[in-house]
A and B are shown apart, each in its own frame.
Chain A
Amino acid sequence: MMNEGVLTAMIADDEAPMRDLLRARLAAVWPELRIVAEAANGVEAVELGQRHLPDIAFLDIRMPGLNGIEAARQLYRRSHIVFATAYDQYALDAFEQGALDYLLKPVTAERLATTCARLQAQLKARAKAPSPAQPDIGQQLAKLTSLLENRGQETPKTGYLRWIQAQVGASLRMVSTREVLFFQSDEKYTRVQTAGGEFLIRKTLKELAEELDPDEFWRIHRSTLVRVDAIGEVGRDLRGRHMLRLRGHPFELEVSRNHTYLFQQM
């Protein structure tokens, strides 16, 4: 590859206009660079990267299938990685710290020229040294992957169950846990009560208690899980049972004796 003197590159971005721009810019600042492949998603990037073994891989961060970081983890041993992103500030900070190459979209000619000059120097130096002196960026990429999972997404995965699935006719009704007032076990089924109605699901109260966020729902009875936000007040009825009233909803739920400690300070 490098011995022939012609360097090769791959461009991966899910948005075609972005690929077009980068290709045009590269042709202007580095006409000798040969673009051997263009990928529209992360899976394709890995596939084409492994087939064409380009010297340089330009990878967009946000791509369907596999994101740019994940693709890089499979390609960095053979190709020099340059990330491209429009806005991910958290990723930019990480690139700076890890001395990883990156481009800010839309790519300006000046910035690209600087990056390309550096790349040329690095790759030339490496071509001279027979043993690959490529710094191992595997660990940094692994760190970035977890960073992206936790902060990159708009809806971070919390690990807790956030949607209750209830079969209604042919489709599956998705009830957000934010809508649920309480769960009550009911012989074979579990009853899910929302402000607007109730649903029956097969998931048992025990399973729910394990999967739901314990700060979002409290167990107040062997057969009842209640949404903490919805709790109004706890009083005693004439028989001395602790009864929990919900805020703004006409439901009364019994609190069993071994759960009354939850309300001791209220």
Chain B
Amino acid sequence: MSASQINQGLDFLRDAFNEASKLWWRFFDWLAVVEWRQLALTWFLAFLVCVPLNMPELATWYLIASFGVKILAGGKRKAELLAKEATMQANVATLERRLMEAQMAALQAQVEPHFLFNTLALIGQLIETDPQEAARVHAHLIEYLRSTLPQMRARDGGTLGKQVELSKAYLSIMQARMKERLNVRFDVPVFLGSAPFPPMMLQTLIENAIKHGLEPKIAGGTVTVRAYVDGATLHVEVCDDGIGIDPHADDGIGLANIRERLQLLYGANAELVIHTPASGGACALIKLPYKMMETA
């Protein structure tokens, strides 16, 4: 026999042993939690089957073994199982806390001092040269701040419609600063406005597109926001035709936070996909389960 055959035989034995021990423990757990009345019922059934087959010993052994195990070890095992369940509940609580923390981090990371300073500088300047434009940018800034700061608490903050509105306020401010260097295209059907969508994700992707894609590009470019439903999945994509992604640049706290929150909220059902189209620039796509509206 070659070594590989021996290994195969060993693997088979190990699997069989694993399976048997798994079955035994499952039986053991069942014994620990089953009620006496139900256990007695199974004894009765065992006799009912075994006596006509002329094997009453088997049923007797089953009765003695299960009775013994339940008396001796049942209580302890039951306590263990209860403890395990409590641990699982505690894990859920931990997950909820991590989600809260991730959301708080998203909130705090958001209003960048750079952005605030530059926008206020712009407003200060426009007050003298173009008061109407100053009023417009000022209004956008207020809208942006209002929806950014109490974001997590706002009841309607978590819809795609609300997130798009907030992004438009931000982009209007950036357009006032970058002028013709920034173009914006929204391709979001109205009916998707009520779809639940986590706060501050779209915002982060758009800020990245401008900061890393378009601002460093002399000619500037276009930010395109697209949303559509494919099957049961909502796709929200932000693309820019900027300078693309440097493979050595850190992907930043923003994207890591989005990934973390998607994982906590939707598990394996959501993902963040970054890709660079052949035509240049960069795209970031969030996929998550589509629901028409928030369930109360």
Residues of A whose CB lies within 8 Å of any CB of B are 14-18, 20-21, 24, 41, 43, 62, 64-65, 86-87, 105-106, 154-165, 168, 170-179, 195-196, 238-239
Those of B167-189 within 8 Å (CB) of chain A: 176-179, 181
CB of A173 within 8 A of CB of B275, answer yes
Q: Does B37 contact A (CB under 8 A)?
A: no
Q: Given A16-B179, A21-B125, A87-B117, do A154 and B277 touch, yes or no (CB 8 Å)?
A: no
Q: Given A238-B10, A238-B14, do A86 and B251 touch, yes or no (CB 8 Å)?
A: no
Q: Which residues on A sit within 8 Å (CB–CB) of B251?
A: 155, 162-163, 176-178
Q: Given A15-B178, A64-B215, A195-B268, do A87 and B114 touch, yes or no (CB 8 Å)?
A: yes
20 pairs from A and B in contact (CB 8 Å cutoff): A14-B181, A17-B129, A18-B125, A20-B129, A21-B129, A106-B125, A157-B248, A158-B250, A159-B248, A161-B247, A163-B248, A168-B275, A171-B275, A172-B275, A172-B277, A173-B273, A173-B275, A174-B282, A178-B256, A196-B271
CB of B277 within 8 A of CB of A174, answer no
Q: Return B264 CB to nearest CB of chain A, in Å.
A: 12
Q: Does B5 contact A (CB under 8 A)?
A: no
CB of A170 within 8 A of CB of B248, answer no
CB of B122 within 8 A of CB of A162, answer no
Q: Does B7 contact A (CB under 8 A)?
A: yes
Q: Return B74 CB to nearest CB of chain A, in Å.
A: 31
A87-B118, A168-B275 given. 18 additional CB < 8 A pairs? Answer: A14-B181, A14-B215, A15-B179, A21-B128, A24-B129, A65-B218, A87-B113, A87-B117, A106-B120, A106-B124, A157-B250, A160-B248, A162-B250, A163-B247, A171-B278, A173-B275, A176-B256, A178-B259
Q: Given A87-B118, A178-B259, do A162 and B249 touch, yes or no (CB 8 Å)?
A: yes
Q: Chain B, 1-13, contact with A by CB distance < 8 Å: what is the 0/1 string? A: 0000001001000
A32 to B10, CA, bound (A): 95
A160 to B250, CA, bound (A): 9
Q: Return A256 CB to nearest CB of chain B, in Å.
A: 18
Residues of B whose CB lies within 8 Å of any CB of A are 7, 10, 14, 113-114, 117-118, 120-122, 124-126, 128-129, 176-179, 181, 211-212, 215-218, 245-252, 255-256, 259, 263, 268, 271, 273-278, 282-283
Q: Given A156-B250, A171-B275, A196-B268, do A64 and B216 touch, yes or no (CB 8 Å)?
A: yes
Q: Given A41-B218, A196-B271, do A86 and B118 touch, yes or no (CB 8 Å)?
A: yes
CB of A43 within 8 A of CB of B218, answer yes
Q: Given A21-B129, A24-B128, A155-B252, do A105 and B121 touch, yes or no (CB 8 Å)?
A: yes
Q: Which residues on A sit within 8 Å (CB–CB) of B124?
A: 106
CB of B277 within 8 A of CB of A163, answer no
A62 to B176, CA, bound (A): 17
A21 to B268, CA, bound (A): 51
Q: Across the two chains, which residue of chain A brings its CB closest to B116?
A: A87
Indicate the member of A43, A164, A179 with the most B CB atoms within 10 Å.
A179
Q: Across the two chains, which residue of chain B brings its CB closest to A15?
A: B177
Q: Across the two chains, which residue of chain A brings its CB closest to B13?
A: A238
Q: Return A145 CB to nearest CB of chain B, in Å.
A: 16
Q: Given A162-B251, A238-B10, do A170 and B278 touch, yes or no (CB 8 Å)?
A: yes
Q: Given A17-B129, A173-B275, do A86 and B268 touch, yes or no (CB 8 Å)?
A: no
Q: Which residues on A sit within 8 Å (CB–CB) of B216?
A: 64
CB of A155 within 8 A of CB of B177, answer no
A158 to B259, CA, bound (A): 21
Q: Across the two chains, which residue of chain B brings its CB closest to A159?
A: B248
Q: Which residues on A sit within 8 Å (CB–CB) of B282?
A: 174
Q: Which residues on B sit within 8 Å (CB–CB) of A168?
A: 275
CB of B176 within 8 A of CB of A17, answer yes
Q: Which residues on A sit within 8 Å (CB–CB) of B248?
A: 157-163
Indicate the member of B176, B178, B249 with the most A CB atoms within 10 Å.
B249
CB of B114 within 8 A of CB of A20, answer no
Q: Return A252 CB to nearest CB of chain B, in Å.
A: 14
CB of B276 within 8 A of CB of A86, answer no
A163 to B212, CA, bound (A): 15
Q: Which residues on B sit within 8 Å (CB–CB) of A165?
A: 247, 276
Q: Which residues on B sit within 8 Å (CB–CB) of A163?
A: 245-249, 251, 274
A161 to B277, CA, bound (A): 20
